[in-house]
Structure 1
């Protein structure tokens, strides 16, 4: 079973070495590339003031965080949630650096993120696929036609949800119909019972063959996906 956790954080500033802390963690779970709805989201009291420039980015204020738990209060639940998963993070060194700093503050012997999880950096992936282009999350949304018009400010959970769509498209995956009405585990029998069967006596469907132009556009789109596109792997049997 392949378990992916798309993760993002918001912080009081840019540098843990300057005493900055995590104030929001947002995680979206995918199992076998399907959204499960088993997400992790937590605001945190950082015990320090948030830089004004950071508030301009995410809109989280010191007053809002006054009654929120501290990282130590949720660390055990967070580590259990991510343990053994592959973390999908945009600009991973930033978030992993902050998470490791929080763990170090709790206990010098605490595990580090790399001890618990594999980490995939979508910024590195994007730079490889789109060299010389802008590869911010907003730029990737525009490139892959993902609607992020509701993203007026950064937010850890919102950005993780958007990054999940970006990751699936960058790796040639589907982004719709992942979270079905049967719940996170899915009920195959129940889902099958909802399928509308067509009569065997219905008229034969008209088959519309693609034109040469259609095939060329399709091939160009596959090539744009790059080496991660499963449909370009000739001779391989790919299961997903």
Structure 2
């Protein structure tokens, strides 16, 4: 980042990361500090404040705002500014299907928090340069979902599996999306592939036998399988390689 001043309008619940963002955007002790303005709802005065100076400017949305239809209007107004104001979504992480939605709405960056100073600055620098930033731990899942969309095979958002990203979880998300099954069904399929009984699976996942059988029946329907062997074979044929290592 350069030493020029920066104005950042933060919208939504940001108590857990606002001070950290202020520190991360500070270049050094002698640099002009970034000015953050935190609001719950954006008014005309807030937009005027953001546009006032020819400095670097950014609109930061808390995840609670990004998950509402308000993101579309906020991104549209930010894009109409001269020069356009990049929109950055900050929160716990967000799930790949949500990130795709935010990027499609016009967000320039999806930044998990906490993030290192270097990562935060890189995200803002890329946004100011007109690029897009997504966390590296989400890339594998994003690529699968984008590929499905490009091939006209995108799953409805209600059917996309939802669980935190990071490490193996991102790969599991990619494979469960590839198979069109839920996160819990993916876990059960992984255990079935090891030859475990329903009783043992119940103990592993701490669920009742009735619940486990309901998940198994739903899993078979989703995959078009009649039994355990067919479910495992279909998953393997569809490319779920990590499933058997989980």
**Greater relative contact order (Cα < 8 A, sep 6+):** 1
TM-score (structure 1 length as normaliser): 0.28
TM-score (structure 2 length as normaliser): 0.27
